[in-house]
Structure 1
């Protein structure tokens, strides 16, 4: 591990000189590439230097104790040595986590797709609540949210909806939300007080760049139709909504929240590329999951990942498992505790897996 850290520190020093070189700065493409690489390894180098300072302090304290010239100094050195030694295991764990292979998609913007599952109107209402939850969470992190498409029910729910979240680290924070979310509660329309179970499906997809997904235009069927719902003055007067069918896979994407046919077409293509990219990722992750026996983060849409029990005020994630009794604040977008727990759990699995290799 320490040989790798020394190599990264050397690379860090080299990059710091390169990104300050006027010749490199004049080539913006090269400069941006090197700057990103520099930024990515900065946290590792900073933590490693902190670790080395602690080790240096431990060695200095040991020297003072060994010399034993001044009893008062020796006593102070023993206290400092004890404090510094306690910090070493934690710093080593942090360094191991920082050295874990980084998901290349972690800093990407994402497309979120929600669909009502089993449970009729109640499932649609729950899907709408999940949409609000993720939008509030994005806003709390100052990420930008852009609606792409929505198909509403007549009672305030949604049959399906898609929106983009733009912000650094969006995929890294929300990628484990993919899967089936289950709600248990008494619907407002239930006169007998019986608890009903409904579901909604969430898909979190990293935005695909053009270099990653190339689409043959001959593989697309593009239909235009009249928008329904919110979308400005042109709604219901022009054929601005767009539906794109990817013939090889049968994927269908609709977009009608933009103000023009061109805008909707561009957004629909974004969603299609993200879906195709996500399909490739899911297949790769399924292979990895089979090899590693790692069930977190496989992107399996059929897996029930979480239950929201309203009568008991609890949220349970079935992969960790973890139960939180703070449903009200959770539904308002305060989901960091759950996300942090899942990330930590996944990091522990990766550390164990790499240790076995």
Structure 2
């Protein structure tokens, strides 16, 4: 018994009773009233003995993680990067496409964490977020007050249609009111952008960005995704070259940053119609959904720079972030 670290003043008889009660309850699955009846003791005493068995180390709880759950890695990333939450998603070895699993995990996370009265911002061009929203279940009661577009449609008019569909769909699912940015996401020059920001409709959306309680965003890399590239809405070659020369590795809502997550001041950034960096960073919950080793540098920079404080990513990326 000494090996259990038990106090020497405990009688052998009491220890024997503790072990017997613990084994009956934990190993044999006998309920407390039946234990009390069999041992001719009261049920409250059975409860006290079970608690004492835990305190004395006779019963030790061990949590066994299923293969698909990675809470230890999630905890490590939370501590390392100062994140509020991390969700690590297993990707089947038979597939190299992380999007379906990421989208399913993100849909589950949003379904569980939206609270009544949330004001939700969503980035307007993200294949991952579109897949996420398509997997979410419609709510039977209102769980969000408003769903607000964070950046205008990027590039062509078709992109604005995509952004409108994404915002509208999420608003329908959460029974919220959709708020759209009535503008392209990127315009020809800073003068046009500044003029647009004086428009009363856009100013109304800008004012509502201050009400956001949670934002849902993708994390982009400097190299555009195949979807964005094929759509004709990717950042132009000249802008890419400028951003690359300035050290850009990724973006959130078209705010490009370097490897340390520092915001890059560029000519491109002065042409974007969307939420400004300070307002974005002031939102309490900033959920980034992104995966794939192609985006590793961008994801690392996004968490290093505090652009996101809740991360949903795949296991391979999470392992690299934890190295």
Same-fold call, TM > 0.5?
no
Structure number having the greater strand percentage:
1
Q: Which has the higher contact order (CA 8 A, sep 6+)?
A: 2
Q: What TM-score results when the alignment is normalised by the length of structure 1?
A: 0.28
